[in-house]
Every structure is written in structure tokens, then in C-alpha cells.
Amino acid sequence: MAVAIMAKNPSQYGLQTVIPDPPMKYDTVRINYPVDLRLVAECIDVSLSELQELNPSLLRMTTPKVHFDLHLPMGTAEKYQTTIAAIPAGMRLSWRYHTVANGETLMSLSRTYHTPLKTIATANQLDMKDTIEAGAKLVIPIAPGAHNGGDGQAYARRLTIYRVRKNDTLESVSNNLGISSVTIRRWNRMRGDSLAGRRVLYVHLPVSPTVAAADQHAPSKSRRHKELAEGKAGSAMHHTVRRGETLYSIANNYKTSVKAIKQTNANVAVLRPGMVLVIPAQ
């Protein structure tokens, strides 16, 4: 309210010299299906953070099931409509587009995404023995439940203990960790959303598909790990984001790089206090 009053009377508050930012320009596509923002970003080759800035009403990584006005960078609406058409409407929360990197093969993508080789080949009208060129974009069918979380997101195999804090809700924990509430309930055998009486939650932190694939071949750990943000967990550290921190300041504190943190964590486009990051070992 106070900001609105000041904006309407800038001279009264000494703000007449402030130059307002120009209004954001964007395309709008009205959709009637839920879709993962990461898939949207892959369809039009833009960053996830840019999409989140254009769609601030979305508190999760997915659009609602009802009609939604999806804002896209100017000039990308037609490309999105054309590209998303290759993904069945009922699979737009789990299927992905993958831009092929140097050295990748259909077999390596099969291992990375835990999707049968034949399924990937068929979806892209390829033979299982075909080679794929770097830069090519492939549809990756991912069956709900194929990953640890059953939601198309890749998760670390290593178990992490989240200690429930005062005023925590299932929704706030879900938003901070980047894990759906349904997945958290399933992992912890919860019948409802209440955290009453719970001291801890057992979770697997979101990671990129590449990190998840590497994790599959890492030695297993039988012991459970300590509280988030406490020291080393195997070969990595956990850090709970505090107010005012940035990826650069966190990377500097741990003597790592912003790029390394982004590669290890799936949802770091926008940092929020309480979010938990996996810090790669050096």
C-alpha cells in the first residue's frame, strides 16, 4: 500500500528523479494443460530464470491444471507452440527435450534419463544404432515414477535428513527444497499434509540428470546423513540459503564456482531463504 501511494505521488516523496523501468515485453500463450517450466525453457532455448521472471505468479516449477496465461520472451510463442506439439499433453510434466552434447549417444541418454533406448529412438524416429549429432534436440520420454521421486525430476540417491523447524509446513518445505509435496509425502509415508509431531523428513535432493546418472554408479552408503547444511555428506556439502546470499557469494565461501553449483542443483534459478543446495566437493 505504501509503495503504491509513493508511486502515485513521486514528487511528494522526493522520487521525481527516479526513472521507472520500462514495462516488460513478452508473448502470452493461453494453455489448458500443466507443463513443467524446464520443458518450456528447453522448447524455446531460454533460461529457466528468464521464464520465472516473466511468470512470477508461479510458485512451483509447473503451471496449474486449469487455464493459464503463460508469458514467454518476445517472439518465441510460435516456436513454443510448434515444439511443444511433439510432447503429448498428458506427458508435459515429465517428458523433456534434450540438446545433445559432444560425445553423447542414444545409449548414454538412456542411462542418464533411465529411459529405454528403444523408447528414445522411437520417439525421435531413429534407429537404435543411429548416431546423434551435437546440437540436435531430442524428445526424451520419461515415465512418471521412472526417477526416485516419481515426478520426472532426477534426485540424488543419497538420503538427506531435513529437520523440521517451527512454522514449517509441507508446502514451505516443498518450495524450499524444490521437491513436490506428493513426493515428500510418499518418501515419508505421510497420509496428509500435517507436519505435527514430526522432527525430521527424509528426502533425496533434486539434482541434474547427469549428476543423477553419475550417482547411480557411486558406492552406496548405508548410514543416514546428518542434518542439512551440516558438514560433508559423502563427497559434497549441503548449504541452507540465508537472506541476502547469492550464488556468487555462496560459491566464493565454498571455493567453488557458480557453474558447478548450477550443474549440481536442479532448481537454482531463483534463490530463496531456506532453500537447500548441494555444494560439489573440490
pLDDT tens digit sequence for 158-185: 777 788 888 889 888 887 777 878 788 8
Neighbours of 102 (CB within 10 A): 7
Is CATH 3.10.350.10 the classification given to domain 160-280? yes
Residue 200: beta bridge partners?
163
The amino acid sitting at 110 is S
- Whether residue 225 is predicted with pLDDT greater than 60 in this model: the reply is no
pLDDT band at 39 (very low <50, low <70, confident <90, very high): very high
Q: Can you tell me the mean pLDDT for 96-103?
A: 89
Indicate the pTM of the whole model.
Answer: 0.49
**Neighbouring C-alpha atoms within 13 Å toward the C-beta of 271:** 18
Judged against a pLDDT cut of 80, whether residue 281 lies above it is answered with no
How many Å apart are CA 253 and CA 72, to the nearest integer?
35
* In contact, 162 and 199? CB cutoff 8 Å: no
Report yes or no: 111 and 117 within 8 Å, Cβ to Cβ.
no
| Domain locations in the chain as residue ranges | 23-93, 102-146, 160-280
Q: How many CB atoms lie within 10 A of CB 133?
A: 8
